[in-house]
Amino acid sequence: MLKIGGVKLGKVPRVVLAVVGESSAVAQAAGEGIDILEARVDLFDGQLTSASVVDEVKVLKRHEMPLIGTIRGQGEVRGTARVSDAQREALYQHLSPLVDAIDIDLSATMLKSVIATARRNKNTMILSHHDFRSTPPASTLEHIVRKATTLGADIIKIATLARNESDVVRLLQFTAAHRQNNLVTISMGNIGSLSRLVLPFAGSLLTYTSVNPSDGQIGATRLIEDLRFYYPRYNEALINRTRLLEFV
């Protein structure tokens, strides 16, 4: 079964909290039921040196949760990226041994080098695609899946902007039809907020939130409450424990 760290994927939605460094909010969210942390290294405070990144990630590891390492570059974030491609490649080399999974965009120039590094360190490999302008047609989504599969992705992440409800429905249908491909799908933007709940039902392995929600994300507390309500199996351990207490 596919895992990130010790967390099994596939049977229930898993919640990823994107973090930009250690804070009290991270500790609070981690205690509310977050499954996995994503270190958004490109958004860390201060100068992004190898030493500073390693130190910050080691602090995050104290939460004893699976950790995804991500360093976004130009064209993979809104606005201007903070790191050059050369810097990113060097940072990924230092990051990979510390994390359970590596996420890198399919458009990255250093893609094959980072994949090789991740394989040496036995990271789960997440190959991602971001479209901040639209949700492309199914034929384009098919091409993304084929490319990522050929490169050896363990997980294929596709995040697209939803301009209307039809975009969300199209991504939902695509996810359901390709659930065997280990997809993570996200409709970004306010219209896409519902996707954070319904795309896992169609087969998306992970749903994302952050300390400062954006792009249609649902705050961690609300997201987990909703998942517990709409996905009984998500809260299976708690349900079982509650039933046992009935007989105490």
pLDDT at residue 80, as a whole number: 63
The pTM of the full predicted model, rounded to 2 decimals, is 0.92
11-245 homologous superfamily = Aldolase class I (3.20.20.70)
Per-residue pLDDT tens digits for 175-206: 999 999 999 999 999 999 999 999 999 999 99
Alpha carbon distance 155, 127 (integer Å): 6
Closest CA to 63 of 41, 31, 92: 31
Q: Which residues are catalytic?
A: 130, 157
Task: List the chain domain ranges.
Answer: 11-245
Average pLDDT over the chain, rounded to whole? 90
Given a contact cutoff of 8 angstroms between Cβ atoms, the answer to whether 40 and 211 are in contact is no
Per-residue pLDDT tens digits for 140-167: 999 999 999 999 999 999 999 999 999 9
Query: In Å, what is the CA distance from 134 to each residue of 24, 74, 109, 187?
Result: 35, 18, 23, 9
